[in-house]
Chain A
Amino acid sequence: MVSDEILVKRSRQGDREAFALLIERYQDKIYNLTYRLVSNVDDSADLTQEVFYRAMLKIKEFRGDSSFSTWLYRIATNICYDELRKRKTRRFVPLDDSTPDGFSPKIADKTAGPAEKCLEKLMQQHIQKAISTLPPPQRTAVILRDIEGLSYEEIAQISQCALGTVKSRISRGRKALRDLLMSEQELFSPEHVYTK
């Protein structure tokens, strides 16, 4: 396999096929990342396009002081932050112990498909919803660590912050997610679903 560095070099010289290979290599990762950050499939397709478009515009500025993927992730997180800022919606997460809207009722009237599949899908939605409640810096750190599987150092480079900041963001983000997910866990245990 041709290395990223060579493809980047060729892309800088105007080789579109090289850049096409880079897109192929990273589009799923970027799409995944943008979806986890903004929680909307349609938006993440547009954002992924924007990421590569901007990468192409700026590829001459890429000096190779980080890996290409780190650089690309940085562009992606910046674009997603812009997007999140654009959404002017006031989003209030309930502070009391009641369940976030839309979760428990759906379990009660689950009708279509095999129970496990439905449960699996609900679980996925549930986790994504929980992720979306995290403040963006924590959200980014947790996504990059636990979903994209990056190292702490890479995350620090992408977020352009200190390693210690990354550590605390990941710790806090995971804890907050744990609290959200665990408070709902009883609802997701099979007995609960079948008795309802």
Chain B
Amino acid sequence: MNCRIVQENLSLYLDGQLSSSQLKVIAAHLESCASCRAEYSSLEQTVNCLRNLEPLTAPTGLKKKILNQIEEIDEKPHRWMLTWKNSWKYWGHNARKIGAAVVIIAALLLGKTILVPNLDFQRPVDLSGPTVESGQTEMAIPKEQTMHTMQGPAQLQSKELVRTDRVTDRKVIQTARLALLVEQLDKAMSAVEELAQKKGGFVQSSDLFRFDDARGANYTLRIPVDQLDGSLDQLEKLGEVQDRQTSAQDVTEEYIDIEARRRNLSQQEERLLSILAQAATVEDILQVETHLERVRGEVEALTGRLQYLENQTALSTLDIELRERSRSITTVQLPHDRLGTRLKEAFTGSINLLLSCLGNFALYLAAALPFLLLGSAIGAFGWLLYRRIALRK
């Protein structure tokens, strides 16, 4: 086993995260190789450093603070709001099912209108009764119909989807991570920055780091949600993809919850103001004012949270990690990469060939269909004639 492979696996070796045979091989190598042994001990020391870090304890009073904050959730939303929230929840959950059902039915209808005429084409085999003339006219009509019906339901369906989207107006925080191995870091960095601008987004933060002998950069981009997928695809071309993840966190419920709480608090604020206007004694005024201050503070906090959610849902967050390929890695990895891409190319090549063959076959079939139908109709006619003659005998 070569030293490079051993050293790449030392971290896993340290945690026993390898198969027993791999563990044995590495243990044997460490016995005989001083440089890998040094590497291992430095890694072990690092891990021990981390393990021995003094554990921090939460500041006293934190628990009480949390409980106080939670108590406010209990007090604030009134019963009508809870029931309203629950019923929303109920509809929210079912809306998804209803939506899914609508989509499936629409898809079935769409599929049926496209498929039925196709079935008609095949039908003459069991129709066998009608004459040649009627067979031909039947065939000519559905062909035109398919063109119309195909457009009709498709448009309807997409409109419907848009509408359901607007009704719920879901707040979703879209995030993505992309790790790339690039040939030239500086080029890739300027490409990333350029892309952020072109897509109508911006670079929220960036930093440079060094890993082994190679340099790297981290970016956090904020990109309009509808540009995220396109951006990812474009960024992938900058290098070799090591990691690509996307996630969506639905915060609609929290958003609606906070909105409702804020509305409620604003009403409270108004009520307190009217009470304040009528307050007679200084004591009353002071009491109402402290109350008012608390309510206003909370409204502010909730507004902040709402703005944060607005911000997070308006733009997607894209974390990019660029790492420059170091020379030592290049020599080891390149053959594998080439083999990989060649295999991939060969594979997609033959798939494409297969698809185009199938496509051609389908085209041929479509072109031949009228003749086939005509032929089968004539055949059926002939067969019927033959049977009649045979029966007469």
Contacts and interface: CB of A to CB of B under 8 A. Distances in A.
A19 B70 contact: yes
Q: Interface on chain B toward A: helix, strand, loop, or mixed SS?
A: mixed
Nearest to B59: A45
Contacts of B206: 90
A30 B56 CA distance: 10
B69 A181 contact: no
Contacts of B204: 85, 88
Given A87-B205, A178-B42, A49 B69 contact: yes
Interface string A95-129: 10000000000000000000000000001100110
Interface in B159-201: 177
A85 B205 contact: yes
Contacts of A182: 42, 46
A16 B62 contact: no
A23 B53 CA distance: 23
A164 to B, nearest CB: 10
Given A85-B220, A171-B11, A93 B49 contact: no
Nearest to A42: B59
A63 interface: no
A73 interface: no
B364 interface: no
Contacts of A145: 15
Interface residues of B, number: 54
Interface in B42-86: 42-43, 45-47, 49-51, 53-59, 62-63, 65-67, 69-71, 73-74
B58 A135 contact: no
Contacts of A142: 50
A147 B58 CA distance: 16
Interface in A148-196: 149, 152, 160-161, 165, 167, 170-172, 174-179, 181-182
Contacts of A31: 56-59, 62
Of A49, A89, A135, A178, most B-chain CB atoms within 10 Å: A135
Given A165-B243, A171-B12, A175-B11, 10 more contacts: A16-B70, A23-B63, A28-B58, A52-B66, A53-B70, A82-B312, A85-B204, A127-B50, A146-B47, A175-B212
Interface of B: 8, 11-12, 15, 17, 42-43, 45-47, 49-51, 53-59, 62-63, 65-67, 69-71, 73-74, 177, 204-212, 215-216, 218, 220, 243, 245, 247, 249, 254, 257, 312, 317, 319, 321
30 contacts: A14-B74, A16-B74, A23-B67, A28-B56, A30-B58, A31-B56, A48-B66, A52-B66, A52-B70, A57-B73, A78-B249, A82-B312, A87-B205, A88-B205, A91-B207, A95-B208, A128-B53, A135-B209, A135-B216, A135-B218, A136-B319, A137-B177, A137-B319, A145-B15, A146-B51, A165-B243, A171-B8, A174-B43, A178-B42, A182-B46
